[in-house]
Structure 1
Amino acid sequence: MDEAAASDQLAETLTSLQNLIEKHARELTRINSELKEKRESMKSVFENDVQLEEAKAEVERQNVALKERKSQLQSDPQVTSLKVDIAELNEQKKELEETLSNHLVNYHALTNSTSFDTSDGDQWEFNIKAKIKGKKMEKTDN
């Protein structure tokens, strides 16, 4: 094939490719436009549905009633008393866990064991955990 024929074929190929690109780009633009229109139509269906709007309003009313009832219960003397009891029990639990942890660390140091026998014959296992505390900052005098 001579140079002129090769050049003509390249030009023909390029023209065909450009035509395909343009055709596909126009089709893509058309589809995007149609998608936008269909999405807007679907959105409109949901926005204009009376039953859906009524259901949303009912849900909102129920949410308000729920919040009001929870608020009423929060100020109920029984709930207030239970909150105090829970806080006290949590504090007792925390203190007991710290004490038990210290005893278990001592037990482990003496026996090198991670289990202990109870008076009723059960055996309980435990883990020793180490926590890294924050690095102590050196105080500087100003």
Structure 2
Amino acid sequence: MTEVTLSAYLAFYLYLIMLVVQWAVATFSKAKEPHAVPGKINDDLSHDSFIFRAHRTFHNTLENSALFIGTVLFAFVINYQSPLFAMCVWVYLIARIIHMVLYYAIATEKNPSPRSYFFLIGVIANVVMLVTIGLRLVA
């Protein structure tokens, strides 16, 4: 296994750990509330509530996970070993972690919020990964 591949594997592994952390934060913050119902969040909550922000952080990551996980696994299946690809996996991971921290820390309805920029960085990293895979396939 090359260093490039190991680096991409490590970033992907840490992404999966981040998902578990987000799930735990969302689940346990909500479970502490009186009369909490599993799988249901109060419709009256908004960004001023940490429970809402933790729930949205986790769900936003889930909404973006299909494309990221699909892209990364496809690259692994075709044994794509590009330093640019590995760097993009790391950029995506770091952008999602910063997005998570900002979502937990800042209660704002403002759009764009500071977390929006890191969301966009993650999207761009994912698009670059898709393009590099496409270029590899047509080469």
Q: Which bracket does the TM-score occupy, shorter chain normalised?
A: under 0.3
TM-score by length of 1: 0.24
Q: Provide the TM-score with structure 2 as the length reference.
A: 0.24
Q: Which has the higher contact order (CA 8 A, sep 6+)?
A: 2
Larger Rg computed on CA atoms: 1
